[in-house]
Amino acid sequence: MALQMDAEALNAFLAVEFPQLEGAFTVIEVNEDRLVARLRVTDAHLRPGGTVSGPSMFALADVAIYCVVLSRIGPVALAVTTNASIDFMRKPVAGRDLRAECRLLKLGRSLAVGEALIFSDGQPEPVARCSMTYAIPPAKG
Amino acid sequence: MALQMDAEALNAFLAVEFPQLEGAFTVIEVNEDRLVARLRVTDAHLRPGGTVSGPSMFALADVAIYCVVLSRIGPVALAVTTNASIDFMRKPVAGRDLRAECRLLKLGRSLAVGEALIFSDGQPEPVARCSMTYAIPPAKG
Amino acid sequence: MALQMDAEALNAFLAVEFPQLEGAFTVIEVNEDRLVARLRVTDAHLRPGGTVSGPSMFALADVAIYCVVLSRIGPVALAVTTNASIDFMRKPVAGRDLRAECRLLKLGRSLAVGEALIFSDGQPEPVARCSMTYAIPPAKG
Amino acid sequence: MALQMDAEALNAFLAVEFPQLEGAFTVIEVNEDRLVARLRVTDAHLRPGGTVSGPSMFALADVAIYCVVLSRIGPVALAVTTNASIDFMRKPVAGRDLRAECRLLKLGRSLAVGEALIFSDGQPEPVARCSMTYAIPPAKG
């Protein structure tokens, strides 16, 4: 399926619609197979000890998979997350940004399903795995 | 199983260990059956439109279920979340705090499982449902 | 919300639509708060060692939560499971039937969410916890 | 990590330990990157209408990911499933076998995490996605 938004368009969309991200989240690459995004880790994302918090990883996966969906259906849709499942598998490396690699597994008329692996930047093994479902509102006639 | 920490002890623990919560999260009640907590919703938790973001609900469930586990095993443990599943079922009411009602379903030697229903304060129907698993480190001999 | 089907109607529906259950699954009680069902455990449900297999517990939760949905929307709907999350928490007791206690958490126009706790009959602590989402087909005009 | 069991060894193990599978499940390929397995679909796996049931897909994912774990730790372990999350995304094609493609995402001392995509044989798009966690018993000294 052809892309409706490239990385530049997705980043511009996020800057307007999600100003609370404050530029910490960036789509690096998107094509028909996958999307890669980065979270610039700041103090706000850390747990005591310097590791990235679970909710920050959840937020990264949520925005990244949302962007995969938007890359296919365009910026008009008000997709909302209805379900998420996440496995926290390793402790993120302190002081490293996070990288999310996402795939779209289903794009139906009313539901989309995607998944993400999250890595500490430069590490080969994922720190978390996440799958999410989005409800896509009906197109207006 | 007897409680090792009451609401006051849990709130004091969080103030020291999770200063980034900035007092927004409060355990209101804990007994052998359940724990009730509140998230004071601030601008940082909002999505455009005034509704509470998914990651904020995830973070609330994570801290609340973590507190249920601590209420049984005490403050020494370094429990970490290993898995979470969350269903976002309704849009939270704008301008309302969130309330989490949690139960502990299993407390094993190495794994604990709990669940939470999240409500917009004063509403009868839950906005989200979450279950989480925590890995409990082995006790030192 | 008023019930559209009682236990007797649900059991009659299952006998026609799911003959492969062979009467092993029975709705015992359904009211506006919950549904209770039983799985008569046979050799087909067992793992080596005499304990009930994970897929059998999954199947029990799936049928039981499906029945909660049907109890509210009636037998005409072709609801399909779209997501399930299950925690296996304790080993079922050998030689005991399983009991599922279910609640409906959301009944929307297109999605329903329910959850179940599964017990070895007569035991106070659950062997498994499950939440499921069903897609409800649009009503015909 | 080196493989401890190849496809032949896994199939021989299943024939002894899981006779109830009755040869319907076969590991086709296993290497350090992935495991591919097949479920020969019989009447016992079908829902009315000829499509494969959700519990049958769950069972396939469970055995397949279990085999990925065993391929790394050998046949001695009594790993048990502790958590599963599954998304049913498309209706399986009637009359086709199912194919599972699995990856191991984490192999820790006490927990392993793997995931599977399930396909109707010969189809490019997955019918289901599943992630599972297994608890690995401590090695005897």
The residue written with tokens 């006779």 in the block is D19
**Cβ atoms within 10 A of the Cβ of D76, count?**
10
Answer whether residue D2 is part of any domain. no
Tokens of B4: 């090792």
pLDDT per residue as tens digits for the range B115-139: 999 999 999 999 999 999 999 987 6
Answer whether residue C118 is part of any domain. yes
Asked whether the beta carbons of residue B55 and residue A62 sit closer than 8 angstroms, the reply is yes
Q: Whole-structure pTM over 0.90, yes or no?
A: yes
Q: What is the DSSP letter of D46?
A: B
Let me know if B45 is exposed, middle or buried by CB neighbors in 10 A (0-12, 13-18, 19+): buried
Q: Does D40 touch chain A (CB under 8 A)?
A: no
Answer whether residue D1 is part of any domain. no
**pLDDT of B27 over the 80 cut:** yes
Where does C18-131 have alpha helices with state H? 54-73
pLDDT of residue D141: 46
Distance, CA of B66 to CA of B133 (rounded, Å): 9
- Do C79 and C112 contact (CB within 8 A), yes or no? yes
Average pLDDT over residues C61-72: 95
Mean predicted lDDT score pLDDT of chain D? 90
Share of chain D above pLDDT 90, in %: 69
pLDDT of residue D137: 82
Q: How confident is the model at residue D121 (pLDDT cuts 50, 70, 90)?
A: very high
Residue in chain C closest to B87 (alpha carbons) equals C113
Q: Does C79 touch chain D (CB under 8 A)?
A: no
Q: Domain range spanning residue D127?
A: 7-135
Asked whether the beta carbons of residue A54 and residue B85 sit closer than 8 angstroms, the reply is no
Average pLDDT over residues C112-139: 94
Mean predicted lDDT score pLDDT of chain A? 90
pLDDT per residue as tens digits for the range A87-97: 999 999 988 99
First to last CA, chain D: 22
Asked whether the beta carbons of residue C131 and residue B87 sit closer than 8 angstroms, the reply is yes
Displacement of CA B80 from its chain's centroid (Å):
13
Average pLDDT over residues B11-37: 90
Write down the ipTM of this complex: 0.92
Asked whether the beta carbons of residue B82 and residue D111 sit closer than 8 angstroms, the reply is yes
pLDDT of residue B23: 80
Least confident of B113-117, C112-116, D56-60: D56-60
Q: How confident is the model at residue D41 (pLDDT cuts 50, 70, 90)?
A: confident
pLDDT of residue B79: 85
Average pLDDT over residues B92-120: 95
CA distances from C60 to A5, A95, B109, C37, C79 (A): 43, 46, 27, 8, 16
CA distances from D115 to A97, D52, D124 (A): 25, 20, 18
Shortest CB distance from D129 goes to which of A105, A117, A125?
A: A105
Picking from B107, B110, B131 by the largest number of D CB atoms within 10 A of its own CB, the best residue to mutate is: B110
Answer whether residue D37 is part of any domain. yes
- Do C6 and C30 contact (CB within 8 A), yes or no? yes
**pLDDT of C122 over the 70 cut:** yes
Q: Which of C86, C113, C118 is nearest to C101 (CA)?
A: C118
What pairs with residue D117 in β-bridges?
D101, D129
pLDDT per residue as tens digits for the range D66-78: 999 999 999 866 7
Q: What is the CATH number of the domain that holds A94?
A: 3.10.129.10
Average pLDDT over residues D53-79: 90
- Chains contacting chain A through 3 or more C-beta pairs under 8 A: B, C, D
Q: Does A109 touch chain C (CB under 8 A)?
A: no
Q: Which amino acid is at B38?
A: R
Q: Which of C54, C63, C52, C53 is nearest to C20 (CA)?
A: C63
Average pLDDT over residues A6-23: 87
Average pLDDT over residues C62-73: 95
Least confident of B77-86, B108-117, D105-114: B77-86
Tokens of B124: 């009868």
**pLDDT of D83 over the 80 cut:** yes
Q: Does C62 touch chain D (CB under 8 A)?
A: yes
Answer whether residue B1 is part of any domain. no
pLDDT of residue A94: 84
Q: How confident is the model at residue D3 (pLDDT cuts 50, 70, 90)?
A: very high
Answer whether residue C140 is part of any domain. no
Least confident of A52-66, B26-40, B127-141, D107-121: B127-141
Answer whether residue B121 is part of any domain. yes
Share of chain D above pLDDT 70, in %: 92
pLDDT of residue B78: 78
The domain total for chain A is 1
pLDDT of residue C48: 64
pLDDT of residue B3: 94
Answer whether residue A63 is part of any domain. yes
* Inter-helix orientation angle A7-17/A54-73, to 10°: 120
Distance, CA of C86 to CA of C65 (rounded, Å): 13
**pLDDT of C141 over the 50 cut:** no
- Do B51 and B109 contact (CB within 8 A), yes or no? no
**Cβ atoms within 10 A of the Cβ of D16, count?**
9
- How far apart are the CA of D4 and the nearest CA of chain C, in angstroms? 23
Q: How confident is the model at residue C23 (pLDDT cuts 50, 70, 90)?
A: confident
Q: How confident is the model at residue A141 (pLDDT cuts 50, 70, 90)?
A: very low
